[in-house]
Structure 1
Amino acid sequence: MSAILSADDLNDFISPGVACIKPIETLPTTQLGPEQQQPSQQSLEFEVILDGQQQPTATAASPNGTAAGAAPAQISLTDCLACSGCVTSAEAVLVSLQSHNEVLSVLDAAPGLRVVRGSDGKAAAAVSGLENPDAKLFVASVSPQTRASLAAACGGAVTEQQAGWMVEQLLMGPGGLAGGGKHGNGFAWTVDTNTAREACLVLGSDEVLGGGSHRGSDKPASPILTSSCPGWVCYAEKTHPYVLPHLSRVKSPQALMGTLLKTTLSRVLGIAPDRIWHLAVMPCFDKKLEASREELTDAVWGGAGTPGRGVRDVDCVITSKEILMLAASRGADFFDLAKSAPVQQPAFPDPAIHRFLFPAQRRKQLRDGGTSGGNLHYILHDVQSRHAGSQIQMTRGRNADVVEYAVVLGSSGETVFRAARYYGFRNIQNLVRKLKPAKASRMPGGKPFGSARRPTGRPGPLEHAYVEVMACPGGCTNGGGQIKVDDQVIVDRKNFGEKPGPDEQKAWQAEVDEAYFSGDEPDPAHGAGDDHSAELIAGISPSHIRDTLAHWADITGIQLDRLVYTSYREVVSDVGKPVSDTERVVQLAGKIGGGW
């Protein structure tokens, strides 16, 4: 969502035509002269003026000669989180600490831990270098949206998989990070976040439809809303706490992968979680905030089972464009890296987890699933598989980012399941209004008032069992951390005569989306990799996923609920509140190691 969190490019997320929902602060009328006092604006929605755009021409003038229309909204890191609510000072620190510079700093801090192979030369048996307390074992996970963004930046001839190999060359190969630096450290494993995403899809469907044996006791209220987008979660926690009971309790793919890597490696290899350093490469700056949540630390899965300040499941998040910065900081040109796998990934300590993380064949992204992971797409097909002869019907909403779906029985025409997709904050505003409880009337015998005239405290009937919500218009391939067409590296590679505008950005986004869906068609003979090809749903074997999750819980000795589910809480921002310098220093010092 919010590239507003990037110190390098504050306008990255708010693309042309996207309004910033931010009230204009005005001075109290007592501080203005009678000739300066103006009627209040009827609307508080303003367009943010982007670089290269002309400011709107005023059509009227105030009595003192200035334009009667309000000036464009001025937003900054301390003002807002790209119209999703206020950013606290502590969050600004947490975000700034996660960057490509932090990656280099940690790599150069001490010699890395080395995995010692067993007698067969395959399975990891032990770890060397533990005598150095600063030594760490480096692991990384890379999102498919990042690979798509980098593939588009390389040119049309590079696929998403080849871009992923280039990232592996950077993180693991001798010509990348390991070829420089103080200790020549590289990453022991680089995994695909898609594998964790498939587990999230199965868990999310079980949460909505039931039937799964691994479901948290705190089941969300209907309609269940996607929670894998951290910008949307941040917005809900800070501005609409009545939405929180509806958020899916399933962790995001980034968070689930972090938990999987930290728990498996620490328990199987017998090392402390803080000796494992996990880097996630994501399309979104808000993923940095997600990684800082107290709910996503070993305090939950390794301690009392409640959120607290502990070892993060994801230590650092960098974005797609920061990959280019990371390569340049080591004196390498990312575009010159080999477009092939550097080496076969070494065996993971547990064979079953290895087969899960490194399947024999990668599953191609389905276009019908969209570019945000396919949460809704999988659930719809799961519903369809449970009702023989049913069909999925789609209805376009008020714009391309609002779509409604229904699963209808072919024989009777009965609707058995309704769901929807809401992308972008303009559309999310409408969604949360529908869920807002009505207010009680103060008049004796008066009816509740509100948009839906509902009984006090009860959400309105949205008629949907599930809603896929993403903060970015167009989905995750349009994330704020993605490489944009007006970034200098793309301007130079495409030889633009002048600064690219909205049309060029639209065409560029189409290239990224095409790269996201690139790749070879899957071979049906391979199925899901094991003996589960007969019951695939949207190309995924739910029984294979459930078996893997059960095995994960067994080898770590941790209840599955602690591993795969998370929680949310109302957050009160400190922006706009009088805080002394001493209090602010205490807040920053106390929150640097924790969550929101």
Structure 2
Amino acid sequence: MSAILSADDLNDFISPGVACIKPVETLPAAKPMNESNEYEVSFNTEAPPTDLPPAQISLTDCLACSGCVTSAEAVLVSMQSHAEVLQELDSGPALRLRDNTTGAGIGIENLESGGRIYVASVSPQSRASIAATFGVTEREAGFMIEQLLSGPKGIKSRAVYRNGFQWVVDTNVAREACLVLGADEVMVSLLAREGKSNAVENGAAKKQSSKPILTSSCPGWICYAEKTHPHVLPHLSRLKSPQALMGTLLKTTLSRKLGISPGRIWHVAIMPCFDKKLEASREELTDAVWEGTGIRGIRDVDCVITSKELLMLADSRRVDFAKLPRTPLSARVPFPDAKIDSFLFPPPRRRKNNVPAAGTSGGNLYYILQYFASQHQGATIQTTRGRNADVLEYTVTSGEGETLFKAARYYGFRNIQNLVRRFKPAKASRMPGGKPVGSARKSGGKQIGPDFAYIEVMACPGGCTNGGGQIKVDDPVITGRETSAVKPGTQEQKGWLAQVDEAYFSGGEDTGEEAAIPDDRNNVGDGISPSHIRDTLAHWAATTGIDLERLVYTSYREVVSDVGKKAGNTERVVEIAGKIGGGW
């Protein structure tokens, strides 16, 4: 799904079908019956009006219907693009913040002009793609992106109102919060099965998913589950993804601290995957949820652009990305909340995304394995390869050889399809005395399913560094020419992905002076302090006056539609012929 959602090479646009459920809303209202004549009979002989306005179908509407999977959705996704970013920046004077050192707080310019404040968040996978493309380190790539979005030589140098992004933040900090919350969620799930769900101290995980818990940070996987395999929804982790969590953190804090509406904060996320545009369009990730209004609200992430679209953004402003400074900006305005500022902009440290065993998708499974093993003295972790390199199984065993915890990693849709089949509930046999049909064949009718407590699921083979929005080996910025007579083969593509992975794992190795890591007895590596993160999350909830559960958790829903699923006469004849042995 991710690889085809690019508007650059679309030539098969298909308008919404006549069975689309959305245009029904534009039909004329029925004329009220004449109450004075109870015997009046109405005949539908009038021709339908021809001057109706066209149906307005948004991306959110398409996500609520499983009937269409065409280029129409791709076109709607393309509305979140580098062109939208430039159009937004040129829409009017931006809100500009002044750091008042006199203690009077942060001042705001252009407050009465209707402008917005612009914030950007950048994923480490996108920085790795930029780093491999221009032969720089992941950290230097982050500085170049910051210079492009906020620096004097970036896009604002050629903008109408000289608008740039007030802050450019790293989604790694939100990722670390998700790791800590994810470990709490798994521990609560395990203890709940033992009737000890209240035994988790200082944990924020209170919404319990069914065992095994499946990761939910991959939007392609989530859409697939909601539309085709709703029986796995109870197993999905209720945690927001790092992108979504960062969006909520920025909009809630800024709107509360600056006294402005969330609609005056415009947040763009730079991600490796086109499917992240779908995630940003979910109604569950708007201010209507954390404000509790119950109506369609302002999105926490207004726009998502990919790594490749970031370069298109620079080209549109005639900025040579390769010549941007590889150093941080000289100064920045502090974030309105001091504690959140220290969380969003921590001092550099060496341990960041440089553990290959953690994978390139955030390290959810790796952190939980390390966390669980740290709770049992002498425990070890064994790894077993599955049917291919994208299927790995992990077992945590005690010093006596007892199995304490089992987990797995499934990457790529082909492997995901094999996984969800094992969750499929049993169906009663139509034959008298027959066994249940499906994954469960026990006499009790209970589902067998994988014997795991946690499974990391990602749609892209190889993980997030291989996302559909990443810069590819055959892109002109790599080859140096618009077209290439010889297309790169499988080995060239694997070699390029290895370079991107190397850049991803090198993150933080050249940071100079290493920052001190907070003393935390529960620290299990990567410089993450669970107590510091929990304290920051508690401060966030107290500052905004919003319950932490509404801030960090989300929900999923089954997508049910008969659009495109009704068989025609030919299909019915073929089906009947097949059943009686005819076959066509």
- TM-score, normalising length: structure 2: 0.81
The structural deviation recorded for 1:389 is: 0.8
SS class of match (1:418): strand
Deviations 1:169-194 (A, max 9, x none): 10000111110121010000000000
Tell me what 1:488 maps to. 476
Task: Name the aligned partner's letter for residue 451 of structure 1.
Answer: S
Deviation at 1:320, TM superposition (A): 0.2
1:532 positional shift:
3.5
Among 339, 358, 361, the residue aligned to 2:345: 358
Report how far residue 525 of structure 1 moved.
Answer: 6.7
In structure 2, relative to structure 1, the CA distance for the partners of 1:440 and 1:258 (3 Å cut) is: same
1:335 positional shift: 1.1
SS at match of 1:509: helix
- Counterpart of 1:504 (choices 492, 498, 509) is 492
Residue 535 of structure 2 aligns with which residue? 547
Give the direction of change, closer, same or farther, for the CA distance of 1:387–1:174 in structure 2 (3 Å limit). Answer: same
* Residue 7 (structure 1) shift: 1.6
Cα distance change of structure 1 residues 284 and 261 upon mapping to structure 2, 3 Å threshold: same
Q: Aligned match of 1:441 in 398, 405, 429?
A: 429
Partners of 1:169 and 1:502 in 2: CA distance: 34
Q: Distance in 2 between matches of 1:567 and 1:118?
A: 40
Letter in 1 for 2:225: A
RMSD: 2.6
> How many angstroms does 1:240 deviate by?
0.3
**What's the counterpart of residue 125 of structure 1?**
106
Q: Does 1:559 align with 2:547?
A: yes
Aligned counterparts of 2:425 and 2:443: Cα–Cα separation in 1:
8
Tell me: CA distance 1:111–1:523, structure 2 relative to 1, closer, same or farther (3 Å). Answer: closer
Distance 1:214 1:386 in 2: 15
For residues 508-529 of structure 1, give each alpha carbon's deviation from its aligned partner in whole angstroms, at most 9, with x where no partner exists: 001000010114448997343x
Residue 300 to residue 455, structure 1, CA distance change in 2 (3 Å):
farther
CA contact (8 A) 1:278 1:313 kept: yes
* Equivalent residues of 1:438, 1:452 under 8 A apart: yes
Q: Is the 8 A contact 2:408 2:455 kept in 1?
A: yes
Unaligned runs of 5+ in 1: 12-76, 579-596
Match of 2:305 in 1: 318
Q: Does 1:7 align with 2:7?
A: yes
1:235 has 2:212 as partner = no
Q: Secondary structure at the match of 1:97?
A: coil
1:87 lines up with 2:75 in the alignment: no
**Aligned residue number for residue 20 of structure 2:** none
Aligned length: 501
Residue aligning to 2:460 = 472
Determine the C-alpha separation between the residues in 1 that align with 2:107 and 2:72.
38
* Cα offsets for 1:403-445 (capped at 9, x unmatched): 00011112x1001000000000110011000000011112344
Residue 386 of structure 1: aligned partner: 375
Identity score, percent: 67
Structure exhibiting the larger radius of gyration computed from Cα positions: 2
Q: Give the stretch that moved more between structures: 193-202 or 124-133.
A: 124-133
**Residue in structure 2 matched with residue 144 of structure 1 by the alignment:** 124
Measured after TM superposition, the shift of residue 488 of structure 1 is 1.5
Q: Counterpart of 1:111 in structure 2: which amino acid?
A: P
Paired with 1:414 and 1:494, the residues of 2 have a C-alpha distance of: 58
Following the alignment from structure 2 to structure 1, what is the Cα–Cα distance between the partners of residues 237 and 68?
Answer: 23
- Post-superposition shift, 1:125? 1.7
Give the corresponding residue for 2:576. Answer: none
Matching of residue 335 in structure 1 with residue 322 in structure 2 = yes
Give the AA of the match of 2:128.
A
**Deviates most, 443-452 or 233-242:** 443-452
Residue 331 of structure 1 aligns with an amino acid whose one-letter code is: R
Matches within 5 A, 1:154-233: 154-155=134-135, 158-210=136-188, 211=200, 213-215=202-204, 217-233=206-222
Query: Unmatched 5+ residue regions in structure 2?
Result: 12-58, 189-199, 567-584
Change (3 A) 1:314 1:268: same
Report if the CA contact (8 A) 1:273-1:311 is conserved: yes
TM-score by length of 1: 0.79
Pairwise CA distance, 1:137: 0.1
Report the alpha carbon displacement of residue 459 of structure 1 after superposing the two structures with TM.
3.2
Counterparts in 2 of 1:86 and 1:220: CA distance versus 1, 3 Å: farther
Q: 1:438 to 1:284 in 2, by over 3 A?
A: same
Residue 516 of structure 1 is matched in structure 2 by 504
Partner residue in 2 for 1:535: 523
| CA separation of 1:258 and 1:233: change in aligned 2, threshold 3 A | same
Tell me the amino acid that sits aligned with residue 3 of structure 1: A
Which stretches of structure 1, 4 residues or more, deviate above 6 A after TM superposition?
493-497, 522-525
Correspondence list, 1:95-106, <5 A? 95-106=77-88
1:407 aligned to 2:396? yes
Deviation at 1:234, TM superposition (A): 0.5
Helix, strand or coil for the counterpart of 1:526?
Answer: coil
- 8 Å CA contact 2:126, 2:272 repeated in 1: yes
How many Å separate the matches in 2 of 1:277 and 1:464?
Answer: 40
8 Å Cα contact 2:370/2:524 also seen in 1? no
- Matches of 1:268 and 1:162, distance apart in 2: 32
- Asked if the contact 1:425/1:471 (under 8 Å) is kept, the reply is yes
Aligned-partner Cα distance in 2 for 1:468–1:556: 32
Matched AA of 1:485: V
Contact residue 87 and residue 573 of structure 1 kept, 8 A? no
> In the alignment, residue 6 of structure 2 is paired with which amino acid?
S
The aligned amino acid for 2:532 is: H
Mapped contact 1:440–1:449 kept (Cα < 8 A): yes
Q: Does structure 2 retain, via aligned residues, the 8 Å contact 1:100–1:318?
A: yes
The CA distance in 1 between the partners of 2:562 and 2:81, in whole Å, is 25
Q: Assess, with a 3 A threshold, how the Cα gap between structure 1 residues 313 and 449 changes in structure 2: closer, same or farther.
A: same
Q: 1:432 to 1:338 in 2, by over 3 A?
A: same
1:454 positional shift: 4.5
1:315–1:454: structure 2 CA closer, same or farther, 3 Å change rule? farther
- 1:566, distance to aligned residue in structure 2 (A): 0.2
SS at match of 2:8: coil
